[in-house]
Chains A and B, each alone.
Chain A
Amino acid sequence: MLKWIFKGLPMLNAGIIVVQHMPKFINDSLRDSLSSVTPMRVSIAENGAALESGTVVIAPSEVHLSLVENRIVRLHHGSKVNFVCPSADVTMKSLTWDLEVLFVGVVVTGMGRDGADGTVHIKKLGGTTIAQDEKTSSIFGMPREAIRTGCVDFVLTPDEISRKLIDLVGVK
């Protein structure tokens, strides 16, 4: 699914954080897979690194990823949230009010309700929120829960998500 979205992405004028629970031993494989379809630089997130425009950072397995001041990556151990670690809610809810930053939250296919509270949070920050549509979702659980919050702006297919991201943040 992520590959489907990223293959339609040019070098965006934004930094992207990917949060997906997966076995640790395939972190590098996911990085390489996404790198093969987008010109954006894709890496596994490192503690203390700054999120740069035009880059994609993947939350590594078994730790949560927060952003300090909407920019600096902080990796931290903690209890599972929504039964997973890393949790999208943790990352999304670490964002803070900043008039100079455009936030976009995207919830794609997955089980459970991770990302729903984060969607509400991003909406409160004045951001734009997107959920994958039911037809293209293998499992509609997470997008459905996000939509149920009433805080999702767009329900889209992966191709439409790519185009919407381009429209929202622009190309470098």
Chain B
Amino acid sequence: MRKSILVVDDEDVVRKSVQRILEIAGFDVQTAAGGPECLAILNKGFKGLILMDIVMPGMDGWDTIKAIVEGGLFEGNLICMLTGKEVPDIKMDYLKEYVLDYILKPFESSKLIQICGEYLSYLDKP
């Protein structure tokens, strides 16, 4: 089954630009404007690579990861933080083991595509 990428970011321009970059590169991409929307997509059965913004209003990236783990939705997914915040707060300490990598904004398109391809290949293995 082909795996998808879920971009979670409250900023419309970031969401759409990342989606466009990755779709042009041939990936299937879904987007969520925040934690609740992300959880709804996962509850519908999404499996793949999640690119998660940290700073979002209401439910931030760490809150969302906590909800993913507590809701039993983590298995089969990989999470990378796609963030402009270089040093995330102490909130992440006990959640960092669920984060595979960090991609700092602004990012190079080629690097983003390379990283996504690499991690999606991890999920393609039986």
Complex Cα spacing A83 to B101, Å: 16
Q: Are the C-beta atoms of A111 and B76 separated by less than 8 Å?
A: no
* B79, closest chain A residue (CB): A23
- Add 13 more A-B contacts to A85-B97, A112-B96 (CB < 8 A): A1-B101, A21-B96, A22-B100, A23-B75, A25-B76, A26-B100, A26-B122, A33-B118, A83-B96, A83-B97, A139-B86, A139-B104, A140-B86
Q: At the interface, is chain A mostly helix, strand, loop or mixed?
A: loop
What separation, in Å, do the CA atoms of A30 and B101 have in the docked complex? 13
Encode contact with B along A69-112: 1 for CB under 8 Å, 0 otherwise. Answer: 00000000000100111000000000000000000000001011
**18 sampled A-B residue pairs with Cβ under 8 A:** A3-B118, A21-B96, A23-B78, A25-B76, A26-B78, A26-B122, A29-B121, A30-B122, A32-B125, A111-B88, A111-B92, A112-B96, A138-B101, A138-B102, A138-B103, A139-B86, A139-B104, A140-B86
> Could you say which residues of chain B place their CB within 8 Å of the CB of A80?
97
Chain B positions within 8 Å of A, measured between CB atoms, are 74-76, 78, 86-88, 92-94, 96-104, 118, 121-123, 125
> Of A26, A28, A84, A139, which is within 8 A of B102 by CB?
A139
* CB of B54 to closest CB in A, whole Å: 11
CB pair B103 A21 closer than 8 Å: no
In the bound complex, CA of A32 to CA of B123 (Å): 12
Residues of A within 8 A of B (CB-CB), count: 23
Contact across chains for B99 and A111 when beta carbons are under 8 A apart: yes
Q: CB < 8 Å: which of A3, A25, A109 contacts B75? A: A25
**Could you tell me the distance between the alpha carbons of A138 and B100 in the complex, rounded to whole angstroms?**
11
- Which residues of A from 44 to 68 have beta carbons under 8 Å from B? none
Instruction: Report the separation of the CA atoms of residues A141 and B93 in the bound assembly, to the nearest whole angstrom.
Output: 12
B122 neighbours in A (Cβ, 8 Å): 26, 29-30, 33
